[in-house]
Amino acid sequence: MSEGIRAASVDDVEPGEALVLPLELSRTDEPISLFRDDDGTYYCLDDTCSHEDASLAEGWIEACEVECPRHASRFCLRDGTVQCLPATKDVAAHRVEVRDGDVFVFPGVPPDMD
């Protein structure tokens, strides 16, 4: 498997914050974002809410969920599943690995659910 894409250093994103990856870096058609939960764990999801056009990276991150800043749908950071209306569709989740102080993402690869 590929080594993934180095998206950030571990300290680049504070707990409760997110970082939209430049498309040149992610090489994805749509933006993906790195989310750091309030416990410090990193996750990666498609950035655009499945309801309308809003950046989830601008949302509220807490307890393994991100709340859309526009109409407050929440998505699971682990697997992108939608948790409440008005969104009804999940967003894609991507694998993340932290190695030697750096955060790597694997666009298009499902997250490890261990």
Q: Given the rule CB under 6 A, which residues bind ligand FES?
A: 49, 51-52, 54, 68, 70-71, 73, 86-87
Identify which of residues 61 and 68 has a Cβ nearer to ligand FES in the complex. 68
User: What CA–CA distance (Å, rounded) separates 114 from 77?
Assistant: 14
Phi-psi category of residue 3: left, alpha or beta, with phi > 0 → left and psi -120 to 50 → alpha: alpha
User: What CA–CA distance (Å, rounded) separates 32 from 46?
Assistant: 4
CB of 82 to ligand FES, least distance (A): 9
CB of 31 to ligand FES, least distance (A): 14
The structure tokens listed for 32 are 């993906």
Identify which of residues 75 and 104 has a Cβ nearer to ligand FES in the complex. 75
- The amino acid sitting at 9 is S
Identify which of residues 26 and 73 has a Cβ nearer to ligand FES in the complex. 73
